[in-house]
Amino acid sequence: MLRFFSEYSILTVFLVPLMVVGFVVLNLMFPYFEITSEVDLGLWGKLTNVNPILKTSLGGFMILLNALLINFIFNTQKIYDKVIFFPGFIYIVWMSLFEVMYNPDGFLITHTLFLLLLNQIFQLNQNEDGRKYVFNSALFAGLATCFHPIFGVIIPFLFLMVWVLRPFVVRESMILLIGFTIPLMYAVTAMLIFNNWYVWDFKFDSYSFQHKSLDVIAVGVTSLVFFVISFIGVQAKLQKSSIRFRKLTRILWFLFFFALVIGIINMFLFQTLENFSLIFAILCFFSVFAFVKKPLSTFTEGLFLLIIIASLLKFFIR
């Protein structure tokens, strides 16, 4: 499978958008996820009476944009020894299992900003002035927090990531805080002007955890298996890698655990599992290395094919 995406790049360029269109059309024809007419944009408020077809089409477009961003970051940073479009494809397949792809809200925009943040962090270099990239990454983090306030817990992770690639500089730390704060100031100002304050809708009822469907359990188990196999593959790669690659890998691990924290917080405070989808924006970078060496790659390919089949069959079996 990895060979196909590395040797037949022309075909895969067309395959990635076709997969997105296919999933969106299938959900419109055989609804698995209900599409609402409301869009929650976090601190920016809510949009109502949105056309469902337009809404789900925009969700598909955002997923495609995120997949292209993932491929761009993966290839420009030379994480693999060839130019491939596999990471974005993995992201699309995983996201097809989550409602946020078909019924998008501010959290899907957060996915995009999360990837833009990662791209800026990866531009940092120990021997060059990093103020521009530090400010941009913090700005994207602040914007993401406006669309999904829980995202604000990224602040300590953001400092850690900058310090992995750069020595500690007081001015850069101040710039980071300023960049993060600017979007929040605009959001608060908008709330003051329109008197439309954001309200936390906490749900501490444990009832919903007792009635989770089998597909949620299946996604959790398969993603855990992928995580373990990917970890093994990355560790093997690290033994023959450059110092730069090791630093980038450390940043990806920071963001992976941050995404896990986001998912756990939302699970307990808001009784939703949708926010665990942010994990796959990072896991797809690691998952490539689960397809590299046999015999693990054979098992991984078989498992991933089953996930693709399940992601399509869910529309017909309910």
d(CA 276, CA 190): 29
At 171 the pLDDT is 85
Q: Which residues sit opposite 39 in a β-bridge?
A: 47
Q: At 40, phi and psi to the nearest 5?
A: -90, 120
- 318 assigned to some structural domain: no
Domain count, the chain: 1
Kindly state whether residue 89 falls inside one of the protein's structural domains.
Answer: yes
Query: What is the reported pLDDT for 199?
Result: 75
> How high is the pLDDT of residue 219?
78
- The answer to the question of residue 174 being in a domain is yes
**Tokens 């800026």 map to which residue?**
120
Q: 33-55 burial, b for 16+ CB within 10 Å, e for fewer?
A: bebeeebbbbbbbeeeebeeeeb
Q: pLDDT by residue for the chain (318 residues), tens digit each?
A: 666 665 556 677 788 899 999 999 999 999 989 899 999 998 998 888 899 999 999 999 999 999 999 999 999 988 888 888 889 999 999 999 999 999 999 999 999 999 999 999 998 887 777 789 999 999 999 999 999 999 999 999 999 888 888 877 788 889 999 999 999 999 999 888 888 877 777 665 544 544 455 566 777 788 888 888 888 888 888 888 788 888 889 899 999 999 999 998 888 887 788 889 999 999 999 888 888 877 777 888 888 898 888 888 888 876
User: What does the block give as tokens for 226?
Assistant: 């992928």
Is-cis flag, bond preceding 295, omega within 30? yes
Reading the block at residue 42, the tokens are 């976090």
Query: What's the pTM value of the predicted model, to 2 decimals?
Result: 0.91
Query: How far is the C-alpha of 276 from the C-alpha of 139, rounded, in Å?
Result: 23
CB 88 within 8 A of CB 19: no
- The per-residue pLDDT for 211 is 44
* Residue-number span of the structural domain to which 31 is assigned: 2-313
> Helices 9-29 & 52-76, crossing angle to 10 degrees?
160
Residue-by-residue DSSP string for 168-209: --HHHHHHHHHHHHHHHHHHHHHHHHHT-----------GGG
- Can you give the pLDDT at residue 214? 57
The per-residue pLDDT for 109 is: 95
| 32: alpha, beta or left? (left if phi > 0; alpha if psi -120 to 50) | alpha
Cβ pair 300, 223 in contact under 8 A: no
